[in-house]
Structure 1
Amino acid sequence: MKNPRITTAIAAVLALTTTVAACSSGGDTVPADQASASAAPSADPSLPVAPAGATPAALNTLTLEGLGSLKLGQPVPARGTWAERGAQTSDQCRVVSSPDYPGVYAIVEGGTVRRITVAGASAVKLVEGLGVGSTRANIDADLPGFAEEPHKYVDGGLYLTAPNAASGDAAVRFELDGDGMVSAMHVGMMPVLGYVEGCA
């Protein structure tokens, strides 16, 4: 005959073990391309800590305020992994990047972040889900009314810039390749938002 107290105690221990295992092994369900982003908070204390229940995608969202701890209009965080890497072309304009965000760099002028650029195979996207690889049709559906101008270096390529860019507020700008796909996107303030060669 089973003792009901022992059965209840075993059930409680199993439930606790399952809960602890679920909390400690959450990284097993993170896709490989987002693994570094999900590990970022422990690697970089300046990155935001995701609220309970937040997904790794929340840490890879570029907004008009910035990306994680990197904020437009503010200095580069003193603590963290955002830093100058490689040769710099100017004392007034600097470029910083972070290994926690492959394919992303920021332009710093006057000691403050003026633009954040996402390119390459980056997992970083806008809140709307737009990012590298999105199409012109995706942009028109989610953010209609962007001003169009020809790309300076890519045949058939375009720049699409938010209509509020001239206001001096943070705005979005996309670079499209000759096939109409986003090859890079930028969030920042003019004139830096419109730079076509890094700091120029």
Structure 2
Amino acid sequence: MKNYLIFIPLALLAACSPEAEEPAADKIITPTSTAESATSASATAADANTLTLDGLGALRIGQRIPSGSSFASRGAQIPGSTCRTLSSPDYPGVVAMTVDGELRRITVSKGSNVALVEGISAGATEAEVRATFPGFQESPHKYLAAPGKYLTQPGADPRLHFEIDTDEKVSMIHVGTLPELTWVEGCA
């Protein structure tokens, strides 16, 4: 009989505790595709100095610069233009480009400690880029003689665009959307 008395308080406690609520159908988040799931996972795993097709740190291609971001317009801008270049003291060698307030391109140059998730950074060799990204389209550099060139990812935006200098090394990496991705002189 004593054993039953122990179970009575436990049964009462269980009866009084709320049941686990089922999440509402509109609150359940499920990825719509494997690619979206993989992109989210890679963005989550990327640290603040890892450049992905989605962006860099809190900067996201296709979105506005987050409030409180250290990226801001510094230096001369083209008067009357909706294109702006922004930089941050937290990211030396990185420039963000916005058009109509939307982030369209992120550029990483030599001297930056930012690298692509694949490990490629400014200063990498053209051979490393081609081994990591086969099939990129080659075009002549606007200001440098060969072997200077551009290597651009084919396909849909956002995409990658590399500037290769005459030493056959990456001088700049651009991530963004066309047409701004391939603009040679920034907003100019």
With structure 2 as the length reference, what TM-score do the two structures score? 0.73
Q: Tell me, what secondary structure is at the counterpart of 1:172?
A: strand
Deviations along 1:3-28, one digit per CA (max 9) or x if unpaired, are xxxxxxxxxxxxxxxxxxxxxxxxxx
For residues 56-106 of structure 1, what are the alpha-carbon distances to aligned partners after superposition, in whole Å with 9 as ceiling and x for unaligned? x82210001100011110111111211000110142100111100000001
Taking the aligned partners of 1:92 and 1:188, their CA distance within structure 2 comes to 17
The alignment partner of 1:137 has SS state of helix
Q: Which amino acid aligns with 1:79?
A: G
1:183 pairs, out of 157, 164, 171, with 171
Contact 2:47 2:57 in 1 (8 A): no
Residues 102-117 of structure 1 aligned to structure 2 (within 5 Å): 102-117=92-107
Q: Map 1:1-200 onto structure 2 (within 5 A).
A: 58-90=47-79, 91-156=81-146, 157-164=148-155, 167=156, 169-200=157-188
Q: Which has the higher helix share?
A: 1
Determine helix, strand or coil for the equivalent of 1:58. coil
Give the match's secondary structure for 1:122.
coil
Find the residue that maps to 2:84 and give its secondary structure. strand
Compute the RMSD of aligned alpha carbons: 1.5
Contact 2:110 2:123 in 1 (8 A): no
One-letter amino acid of the counterpart of residue 159, structure 1: Y
Q: Secondary structure at the match of 2:112?
A: coil
Q: Secondary structure at the match of 2:151?
A: strand
Cα shift readout 1:99-120 (whole Å, capped 9, x = no counterpart)? 0000000110021000000013
Paired with 2:110 and 2:77, the residues of 1 have a C-alpha distance of 20
Question: SS of the counterpart of 1:114?
Answer: strand
The percent of aligned pairs where both chains have the same amino acid is: 53
Number of aligned positions between the proteins: 143
TM-score scaled by structure 1?
0.69
Task: Give the aligned residue type for 2:180.
Answer: V
Shift of 1:149: 0.6
State the structure with more CA Rg: 2
Tell me which amino acid in the other structure corresponds to 1:180: E
8 Å CA contact 2:139–2:151 kept in 1: the answer is: yes
Q: Which runs of 5+ in 2 are unaligned?
A: 1-43
